[in-house]
């Protein structure tokens, strides 16, 4: 397993931004499951993943598939009392940083609960005030 993926498995669900940031490329592209948008850049993506790590509970990766730069990590978790499953689709750059991070998740009810919880968190996070229009 690639060292970045191994480290990610250990830190992402904990929501500690200090541990997440070094895994991400400066120009990382993040595609969340909650709406059709792409977040670009280490700073906002680190903050988003930090918030997600505070919302998800009972998070664990169930299956990890991949090699070289392309990885699929299947997970299960809870959003509040709702169960969810999903897949993190990750592409690493030449230096081993996460360059592309896309998340697919189901069921719809859990994705909606995640979106509501994220909106509450980021709307009170001053780092996201400039992005309010993108969150709608």
Query: What strands, in cross-sheet order, belong to the sheet with 98-106?
Result: 39-40, 24-31, 98-106, 82-92, 70-79, 56-67
Give 17-68 pLDDT, tens digit per residue.
Answer: 889 999 999 999 999 888 778 889 998 899 888 888 888 989 999 999 999 9
What's the confidence (pLDDT) of residue 35? 79
pTM (predicted TM-score)? 0.86
pLDDT value at residue 16: 80
CA distance 100 to 115: 20
Distance CA(134)–CA(15), nearest Å, equals 22
3-107: in CATH 3.10.450.50: yes
- The mean per-residue pLDDT over the stretch 77-83 comes to 94
Domains of the chain, by residue range, sit at 3-107
Tell me the average pLDDT of the chain: 88
- The reported pLDDT for the residue numbered 68 is 93
What does the pLDDT read at residue 135?
47
- For residue range 106-125, list pLDDT tens digits in order: 999 999 999 899 888 777 77
């Amino acid at each position: 397993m690639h060292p970045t993926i191994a480290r990610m498995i250990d830190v992402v669900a904990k929501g500690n931004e200090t541990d997440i940031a070094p895994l991400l490329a400066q120009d990382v592209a993040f595609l969340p499951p909650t709406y059709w948008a792409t977040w670009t850049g280490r700073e906002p993506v680190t903050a988003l993943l930090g918030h997600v790590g505070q919302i998800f509970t009972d998070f664990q990766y169930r299956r990890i598939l991949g090699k070289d730069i392309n990885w699929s990590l299947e997970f299960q978790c809870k959003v509040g009392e709702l169960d969810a499953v999903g897949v993190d689709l990750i592409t690493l750059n030449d230096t081993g940083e996460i360059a592309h991070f896309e998340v697919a998740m189901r069921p719809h009810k859990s994705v909606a609960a995640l979106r509501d919880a994220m909106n509450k968190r980021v709307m009170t996070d001053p780092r996201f005030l400039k992005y309010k229009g993108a969150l709608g």
